[in-house]
Amino acid sequence: MRKLLVFRHGIVINRFLMLPMERYFRRQGYEVHNSTYPTTRKFIEEHARDLSEELMRLARPCEKQSEPYELSVITHSLGGLVLRYALTHFQMPPIHRAVLFVPPNRGSASARYFKNWFLYRKIFGTRAGSQLAEDPPGIFGAAGFPNGIDTGIIAGNVKWKLFPTKLEKPHDGVVTFAESSLPPLPIKMLPYGHTPILFVRYAWEEAEHYLRHGRFRES
């Protein structure tokens, strides 16, 4: 059986930050598709359409040849909203399981803090970046709930903050645990920061365990 795995990274980063995780999953037997997409140049709805089209293209050859396959998705930050919107608004092939790393599922106080700053608009843009700075429910509610998809969330927990934002504890330095949570989806908190979590083998193993078994490891 082919084990297809698609990555969707967060805003203002690219596929190269997910290469260590990609190498790990390739060693576990997954066929990883890890591409860079223009996070700041499109709205989340447009990114979701692009993801839908990519997943349909990946699944089509397997379905035509009646080749058994499992298609899973791992996202980071903004990528989680992109996946949620794609699942609830566009045609998608069957998704085996998904793991969302540090997603701003219910808003982002950090983005809202900077939304009127020129430098924020310059770096994060006026499309997906401005959507992240909306007051909830906004795009966070519009993304919908991924019903019928076995989805787990990994949140971070650190003592430091990347920005001078008032964040409810626990948080990963950027997004709070409460902002990542999306009840009743299972959520696992690990002691790593918002972007550093992408480079931690323990976090990769947690995600891989969820993809295999549909649950996180016992603490």
Q: What is the CATH number of the domain that holds 205?
A: 3.40.50.1820
Give the pLDDT band (50/70/90) at residue 59. very high
Is 74 part of a structural domain of the chain?
yes
Q: Of all residues in the chain, what percent carry a pLDDT higher than 90? A: 95
Is 182 part of a structural domain of the chain?
yes
pLDDT tens-digit map of 79-96:
999 999 999 999 999 999
Is 219 part of a structural domain of the chain?
no
| Count of domains forming the chain | 1
Q: Is the pLDDT of residue 219 over 90?
A: no
Between CA 87 and CA 110 the distance in angstroms is 26
Between CA 67 and CA 90 the distance in angstroms is 24
pTM > 0.95: yes
Q: Is the pLDDT of residue 13 over 80?
A: yes
pLDDT tens-digit map of 108-156:
999 999 998 999 999 999 999 999 999 999 999 999 999 999 999 999 9
Domain that holds residue 118: 2-213
